[in-house]
Structure 1
Amino acid sequence: MRAASLSRSGVVEVRDFPLPVPGAGQVLVVMRYAAICGSDLHVVYDGFHDDDFLNRPGYPGHEGVGHVVDSRAPGIAAGTPVLTVPYGTRGGCFAEYQAVDATHVVPLPEGADLRRSLLAQQLGTTLYAMKKFLPSSRLSDGLAPRSAVVIGAGSAGLFLLQQLVARGIEVGVSDLNADRLALADRLGAARTALEPGASVVEATLAATDGVGADLVIEAAGYDVARAAAVECVRERGTVGFFGFPERKGDAPFPVERAFRKALTMEWANGTQSEPGLVSFRAAVEAIHTGAVTVDHCLENMYPLEETPAAFAAARAHGNGTAKVGLFMPGAVMPGAVSVGRGG
């Protein structure tokens, strides 16, 4: 089979590999589509890779969809369309075939659009995060926020925006790219701030009479964005940290400022470990029923053979798109999708 792999830090190559053989409790999936996560960029470019997984086919891809062609697990038959959600540390989605634990696949409903269903992995992580940022206990006590800010308008930030808007919350969004902020406008943002020319902190304080937002979600993955989140939120407000660490080890953080404001802070990680993969299953249903808009994340797709170019585009903030993806041999690409934009 053909597969992309990380050969060394910063270098992704596409070459031939033996077809994987599923072990007990695994399924073999012929992949159709995959997507590049922000965490994949850190693995490839920022030293977050595992040396033992260099040259492993499909690594570090962990967002993908396809069909089961061989099953060594009860309850999942060959031919079943599935969302694959392996741990990011062990992902193999950037390949024609992937052997994956059956505990990390979610069967798709009959008639599901495979291409759109690809986004259920990313959407699922944001649904999981929102349970921490807006726990049901606070909502039932009448403590739902009236104002919020999302820092970062990539795919995750735009999914978080949609969930907040659906709850009737006024949301401000910031990003480094004007095209992504235009998407945020379309999806219901009350205001946007194009950094660094504009300041999300100043925009938020101006919109809240200097008080700050009730909830601020950092979805960019930069230390400066985490610091801005602390400044944007009101006293005794909530900050949700979704973005991946910028570097390994310690990082600067405005501890005193967060302490003085008596903030509640939540970190989102580990959706793949959630019992029953509940959030991923909810994401599949939301996409299948049209409850969440995902087509804006499917505008920048590259063929598997052009994976290095796809990574370059993702590193450049998608060249203005919310997400960069891959399609495998045999995948159906509608004419409405721009293939290899910027590549």
Structure 2
Amino acid sequence: MSIHLPASGPAVVAHGKGDLRIEDIPLTAPAPHEAVVEVAYGGICGSDLHYWLHGAAGESVLQEPMVLGHEIVGVVVQQAFDGTCPGVGTPVAVHPASPASGNVRYPEDRPNLSPGCTYLGSAARYPHTDGAFSRYANLPTRMLRPLPENLHLRTAALVEPASVAWHAVGRAGDVKGKTTLVIGSGPIGALVVAVLKRAGAARIVAVDMHDKPLEIARAVGADEVLKGDDADAIAAVDADVVIESSGSHFGLASAVKGATRGGKVVMVGLLPSGPQPVLISLAITRELELLGSFRFNNEIDEVIDALADGSLYIDPVVTHEFGLAQGLEAFEVAKNSAESGKVLLNFRP
């Protein structure tokens, strides 16, 4: 059983640098392994902003119009024709990755490192992989994660970025009882703070250049907050684990300085491509472990469980919500990191 679906629906489409449009797109027939999801909420990610502002996210350059969006939740309105679950009426979160095999080696238990991996709303390959900032989206059932009845869709809209944060903290190992430092308190940084809190970190210090992100970081569990230009105070933290989520070489320098000897620095903030200045001599003499963190794997299931049982508290991370008709205004607000946390689009009529 399914609802009657229209021939087209509104979507957020990036056409090029500075060219973002809310426009109708055709609703094509789903493949046998795809369910049709009526999207409820979508969170605006940094990559969405980059495609709008620069026509590219890193080395992924727009070559044709592309539907944005990979942080989405919704309800199944048409079950996949091959009979795979979930069924009609099931609220779902979405794991937006499609790992692919290739001739480049990577650990089998870490499909996020698959060289041919595609992601919803990504121009990394051509043809591009459309995202799901649309009223309806055809999605492979393997991407869909049924949500518990007690988990509100608005909260579940943060499942994807919270999984990124969960994976980053996991890269550091056991943080229980440790001093931790989070550089950059935007949405990912704030979610890292929330995950560290749940994981039992003894002391969580959050850093940012702006007051609003630090306010959010405190609300989700930071014990102390510091301004990003207070180099002496950051260095004095002497953290066992540092999570760098600013995505700048200045933030990475602060991370290295703020780490204790023999400590770990997890780099989840994606720096621009090309050479970057790094305090590598200090990292060497302190025997720091520098660890990359990229997207996530099955952590999404743990995140859903933690949100459902209330042990992961992330509500303050969402600061704004806009209807789809106000989508362009939503992107304007989202780009102002000094005044906003996570900005949600509400796709419901």
Question: Mapping of 1:5-84 within 5 angstroms?
Answer: 5-46=13-54, 47-48=56-57, 49-52=60-63, 54-56=64-66, 58-59=67-68, 61-72=69-80, 73=82, 74-84=84-94
How far did residue 145 of structure 1 move? 5.9
Judge conservation of contact 1:129–1:242 (CA < 8 Å) in 2. yes
- In structure 2, the residue matched to 1:108 is 147
What displacement does 1:91 show? 5.0
Deviation string, structure 1 residues 63-113 (Cα, Å, up to 9, x no partner): 001111223251221221111221242352211111122221111123431
- The 5 Å alignment of 1:274-313 reads 274=297, 278-313=298-333
1:193 and 2:219 equivalent?
no
Which one of 233, 237, 246 corresponds to residue 203 of structure 1?
233
Question: Structure 1 or 2: larger helix share?
Answer: 1
Aligned pair in 2 of structure 1 residues 279, 175: CA closer, same or farther (>3 Å)?
Answer: same
| C-alpha separation in 1, matches of 2:25 and 2:89 | 23
Task: Note if contact 1:22-1:71 (Cα within 8 Å) is conserved in structure 2.
Answer: no
Which residue number corresponds to residue 166 of structure 2?
A: 127
Bigger Cα displacement from structure 2, 248-257 vs 93-102: 248-257
- Gap change, CA 1:282 and 1:293, over 3 Å in 2: same
- The aligned length equals 306
TM-score of the superposition, structure 1-length normalised? 0.83
Give the structure 1 partner of residue 214 of structure 2. Answer: 181
Give the aligned partner of residue 225 of structure 1. Answer: 251
CA contact under 8 A between 2:13 and 2:65: conserved in structure 1? yes
Counterparts in 2 of 1:235 and 1:168: CA distance versus 1, 3 Å = closer
More off after superposition, 302-311 vs 43-52: 43-52
In 2 relative to 1, CA 119–91 (structure 1 residues): closer, same or farther, beyond 3 Å? farther
**For 1:172, which of 181, 197, 205 is the aligned residue?**
205
Greater per-residue strand proportion: 2
- What is residue 155 of structure 1 aligned with on the other side? 187
In percent, how many aligned pairs have the same letter? 25
- Aligned equivalents of 1:11, 1:21: Cα separation in 2: 28
- The 8 Å contact of residues 234 and 254 in structure 2, kept in 1 or not, is answered as no
1:23 is displaced (CA, Å) by: 1.1
1:21–1:28 contact (8 Å) kept in structure 2: no
SS of 2:181's equivalent? strand
1:144, distance to aligned residue in structure 2 (A): 5.2
Cα distance between partner residues in 2 of 1:154 and 1:16: 31
Aligned to 2:240: 214
For 1:335, the equivalent position in structure 2 comes to none
**Unaligned 5+ residue runs, structure 2?**
1-8, 97-118, 123-128
CA gap 1:168/1:286 in 2 versus in 1, 3 angstroms: same
For 1:20 and 1:128, the matched residues in 2 are separated by: 34
RMSD between aligned alpha carbons? 2.0
Distance 2:277 2:234 in 1: 23
Does structure 2 retain, via aligned residues, the 8 Å contact 1:145–1:214? Answer: no
Distance 2:286 2:274 in 1: 26
Q: Which amino acid aligns with 1:186?
A: A
Contact 2:92–2:145 under 8 Å retained in 1: yes
- Provide structure 1 residue ranges, at least 5 long, that are not aligned to the other structure: 331-343
Aligned partners of 2:179, 2:130: CA distance in 1, in Å? 37
Instruction: Give 2:266's aligned residue.
Output: 240
State whether residues 183 and 255 of structure 2, in contact with CA within 8 Å, keep that contact through their aligned partners in structure 1: yes
Q: Report the residue type matching 1:180 in the other structure.
A: P
Letter in 2 for 1:299: T
Secondary structure, counterpart of 2:51 in structure 1: helix
Shift of 1:45: 2.7
Change beyond 3 A, Cα 1:188–1:45: same
**SS across alignment from 2:39:** strand
Question: Is the Cα–Cα contact under 8 Å of residues 241 and 265 in structure 2 kept in the other structure?
Answer: yes
Q: Could you tell me which amino acid in structure 2 is paired with residue 262 of structure 1? A: E
Distance 1:220 1:161 in 2: 13
- In 1, distance between residues paired with 2:288 and 2:241? 10
CA apart distance, 1:50:
4.0
